[in-house]
Amino acid sequence: MTRIHIPRRGVLFGGLVAFLSGCASKFRTYSGPEVTRLRLYKAQRLLVLDGADRVLRTYPIGLGFAPVGHKQFEGDGRTPEGSYVIDRRNPDSLFHLSVGISYPNEADIAFAESQGRSPGKDIFIHGGPRRGIDPTNVRDWTAGCISVSDPEIEEIYAMVRDGTPIDIYA
């Protein structure tokens, strides 16, 4: 029987790599001040996370592929405008992680139905784009969602709780 000699450094290095890869999780913890409101400025491509007495974080964002105007119908590529709440989270998002926005509200539904159309649904703040699947050189590429980088959605996902209000401005 032939013995294979593995240097001690190789074993230690391999163990360290295995340990650190286990620590690389998309789920972060946050123990800072509570996020009391989100403000999203479409024209400035800016998301602001407010605390009780100060701005906690700001993030550059991407929008839907037709970013001007309020979302009215499914497939229009617009990002909603108005007052909503963060109402759900998706740890298995196709775009790393995502937090849901309560679009459509009653007024959105009523308007779309008056036009014989669907208002659409499933508006999220999410990571991405995923290389090779979505455009990586276009800022406004979503179907109406708000995109941030993967590290940024990890922070947002940890900081923002369901029920937090979000105001989306033109």
Q: What is the pLDDT of residues 122-138, one digit of tens each?
A: 999 999 866 655 555 56
Q: What is the pLDDT of residues 41-53, one digit of tens each?
A: 999 999 999 999 9
Got the DSSP string for 60-109?
A: E-B-BSS-SS---STTS-PPP-EEEEEEEEETT-TTS-EEEE--S-HHHH
Count CB atoms within 10 A of the CB of residue 62: 21
**Token representation of residue 90:** 């998706």
How far is 1 from 23, CA to CA, in rounded Å?
A: 38
| 14 pLDDT more than 90 | no
Q: What is the pLDDT of residues 85-103, one digit of tens each?
A: 999 999 998 889 999 999 9
Residues in the chain: 170
